[in-house]
Amino acid sequence: MTKIISSFLAVATAATVVSCGGPNSQTGAVIGALGGAAAGGIIGHQSGRGLEGAAIGGALGGVGGAVVGDAQDKRNAQYYRDGRYYESERAYRDSRYYRGY
C-alpha cells in the first residue's frame, strides 16, 4: 500500500511541476511522461513490477521533458526579445526571393 501511495505522490508532484510553463515545456512534459512510462513499464515488467516502473518512469520522464521544453521556451523568448527574429524577417523581405504576397 505504501508503494502505491508513494507512486501516486510522485505522479502528483510531477503533474504540479509540469502544469506551469510555456508551450514547449508542456509538450515536452507530455512526450517525456509517455516515453518514460513506456520505458519504465517495459523495464519494470522484467522485474515483475510493471506498474511501479511505469509510474516512476512517467514521473521522471515528465519532469525531464518539462525541463528541456522550458529551456527551449527561454531560448525562444531571448530570441524574440533581442529582435533577432524581426531582423531575419526583414532580411528575407529585402531579399530577391520575397514576392510580397
- Report if residue 10 sits inside a domain: no
Residue 101 lies in a domain: no
pLDDT score for 31: 93
For the stretch 32-64, pLDDT in tens is 999 999 999 999 999 888 889 999 999 999 999
Q: Is there a domain that residue 22 lies in?
A: no
How many structural domains compose the chain? 1
3-state secondary structure of 96: coil
- pLDDT tens-digit profile of 61-95? 999 999 999 999 898 888 777 766 656 666 666 66
Report residue 99 as a C-alpha cell. Answer: 514576392
Quote the domain boundaries for residue 73. 27-93
Q: Give a yes or no: residue 2 inside a domain.
A: no
Q: Let me know if residue 80 belongs to a domain.
A: yes
* Residue 20 within any structural domain of the chain: no
What's residue 58's pLDDT? 93
